Amino acid sequence: MKQSEHQRWIMHVDMDAFYASVEILDNPDLKGLPVIVGGRSARGVVSTCSYEARKFGVHSAMPLFEARRLCPHGVYLPVRPHRYAEISGKIMAIFRETSPLVEQLSIDEAFLDLTGMERLGGAETIAHQVQDRIQEELKLSASVGLAPNKFLAKLASDMDKPHGFVKITPEEAETMLAPMPVTKIFGIGRSAEDKLKQFGIEKIGQLASADVTILRKVFGINAEQVKRLARGLDERPVVNEEEAKSIGKENTFDYDLTDFESCRDEVLDLSGQVGWRLRRENLAGHTVTLKVKFADFHTITRSSTGDRLIAWDEEIFSLAEQMLRKINVKPGVRLLGVSVSNLFRPEDEPVLGFAEDERMQRRNRAIDSLKSKFGENIIKRGIVGKNK
């Protein structure tokens, strides 16, 4: 197959032991000690820990009591989300000074598109400069991956942690991927792994040369894309936040939800909140996205794009619910999110008046006026006829 038209260079940066590193930054006496950050919520799990603590087997999402058993001499600290967000802002500012195309993935990681920066020294030099600036200006350690696309760049940043710098060239990508387990491909979770195993596919190399008809049985319409990833090919662009603008709401639960009904109730409530925000800003969108974070932090998103503009609670909910129905929530859901993207600002009311159901419009308007008078929490939408 032909090589993609032009050579891109994508950088992925991921901070090392982020929360723990910030705690050590603010209290240098902790340097070199096993520092475990977590707690403060009802769940009592480890958020993250320093690399010294990882030697004892402590890791993210582990119950704190287990961490204390493995590492009784560790320094246990509560999370300070505002402080981490503040530092995260400074890191992202360095990225934005470096490239006009920055896509933040989470509090401590982002993609930067460094394509076409030869005049500024080339992608590799710039990537080193970013890593050095984080170290010198913020006194924090980051790991860097530099590669022709997002998939490889993210893989690379994780290959030599902490303070790694791994570059993958287009030529070496396929050979390097071949012996890796299929789960290294983002989106291949345990269930896909099990199904692939039934076809004798365990390594990325086998995936790359597998028959597409077999892959369709596991990945459906995404089969071709998975096969391309397995060959180290990925065309997804780095997307700036403004372009990715969406209106959404998520909710993290104190206890994992394990049944469809509870999840549906939450999705209904979230849909109402998102709908209200959309209408308040006089926006409507084409795409509804459902985000599900499971108890083990594995996160999936499902999107559904309609051909007409969506702004009413019921329409958002109906699409979100359809997507939820296809997801197995039994392993435990810790977070649900609903968002609407592909936003447009209808010029005037009639454009929004596409909904056939007059009653639905009246109901939404009535709720909106209550919410704007008394605040967002005055009404929580629920399934009619369900006993709580």
Active site residues: 109
Q: What are phi and psi of 108, to 5 degrees?
A: -125, 15
- Answer for which of 255, 297, 344, 374 binds ligand TTP (CB under 6 A) is 297
Is the CB of 293 or the CB of 371 nearer to ligand TTP? 293
Q: How far apart are CA 349 and CA 351, in angstroms?
A: 5
Sign of CA dihedral 79, 80, 86, 90: negative
- Residue 361 site contact among ligand TTP, Mg ion, none (CB < 5 to 8 Å, cut-off depends on kind): none
**Subset of residues 53 to 112 that bind ligand TTP, contact rule: CB under 6 A:** 60-61, 107-108
Number of residues that bind Mg ion (CB under 5 A): 4
Q: Please choose, out of 17-25, 115-123, 240-248, 303-311, the segment that lies near ligand TTP by the rule CB under 6 A.
A: 17-25
Can you list the positions of beta strands (E) in the chain?
10-15, 35-38, 46-49, 75-77, 102-106, 109-113, 142-147, 165-167, 246-257, 284-294, 299-310, 333-344
Reduced DSSP (H G I as helix, E B as strand, rest coil) percent helix, strand, coil of the chain, to 5? 45, 20, 35
Joined together, the tokens standing for residue 179 give 């012996």
Joined together, the tokens standing for residue 318 give 């109906």
- Residue 60 site contact among Mg ion, ligand TTP, none (CB < 5 to 8 Å, cut-off depends on kind): ligand TTP
- Residue 103 site contact among Mg ion, ligand TTP, none (CB < 5 to 8 Å, cut-off depends on kind): none
Q: Does 91 bind Mg ion (CB under 5 A)?
A: no
Is the CB of 14 or the CB of 313 nearer to Mg ion? 14
- Residue 75 CB, shortest distance to ligand TTP, in Å, is 15
Closest among 9, 4, 59 to 36, alpha carbons compared: 59
At residue 235, the 3 state secondary structure works out as coil
**Subset of residues 10 to 39 that bind Mg ion, contact rule: CB under 5 A:** 14-15, 18
Q: Does 156 bind Mg ion (CB under 5 A)?
A: no
Contact residues toward Mg ion (CB under 5 A) are 14-15, 18, 108
Residue ranges binding ligand TTP (CB under 6 A): 14-19, 47-48, 60-61, 107-108, 161-162, 297
